[in-house]
Amino acid sequence: MHWRLLYTARHSAVENMALDAALLERAERTGETVLRVYGWAAPTLSFGRNQTARGVYDGTAAAARGVEVVRRPTGGRAVLHHREATYSVTGPVGEHSLGESYGRINRLLLDGLRRLGVRAELARAAGRAPLPTGAPCFETPTEGELVVGARKLVGSAQYRERNAFLQHGSILIHDDQPLLSALAAHSLPPALPAATLAEELGHAPDPADVAAALFDAVRHGEDPDAAPLDLDAALTTAARLAAARFASDDWTWRR
């Protein structure tokens, strides 16, 4: 498996989701796997692909607080993206099941975090995976996700389309998830505070440093020749075309 590496700093919610969608299309076309690490230009409330959002979250309240709203192409539940390093992995499906590729990527993330000095581990099985309800993503860790103690540090989800997959998730630098309660149309159940890199390291790392650790993990465990990926004309055009979908209320509030 040939890997490419991409760090894109901060973009808007629509731009971030559109680029991930373009990378998904690229994976099917090229057969390459890309690890992208990025940030957010503004606080963003994102919904999982099949999560119910209408009547659960309040778009007007989000706008009043300067929070962008978007629906992800992957599944899972609501996340407040702000002070975090977000990752995405796109690649060909090959012969790996969803569970196998999910586990492989999470072990890669675990290696990268340990290179930063974070004592994370994989969460053990705790019953069935939660349904895509209106509850926050970081409320409960699911099997294979990355935790510190009993608290979730990384929330991830994967989506497959034809012969390619996209997995992405949030690596929290600070815990901004409590803001979800202020954006909810009705009260949310109390949740265990999330683990954060700032808490575990004693300082807030720069997202670029998180990216460097993850890229080192790729070169060590997957592809020693993994090279940077340039945002060429084909990729930026595909992202621009995909942006219309993620900017549409018909998509964001479709459920």
Query: Where in the sequence numbering do the catalytic residues fall?
Result: 137
* d(C-alpha 154, C-alpha 7), whole Å: 18
Stretch (H or E) spanning 208: helix 207-221
* d(C-alpha 96, C-alpha 246), whole Å: 28
- Dihedral (CA of 123, 222, 1, 29) sign: positive
* d(C-alpha 219, C-alpha 136), whole Å: 33
Which DSSP letter does residue 94 get? Answer: T
- Burial class from Cβ neighbours inside 10 Å (0-12, 13-18, 19+) for residue 38 reads buried
Phi, psi of 49 (to 5 degrees): -50, -45
| Cβ atoms of 91 and 164 closer than 8 Å | yes
Which DSSP letter does residue 140 get? Answer: S
* d(C-alpha 186, C-alpha 221), whole Å: 45
Distances (CA, A) of 42 to 14, 36, 68, 219: 11, 19, 7, 31
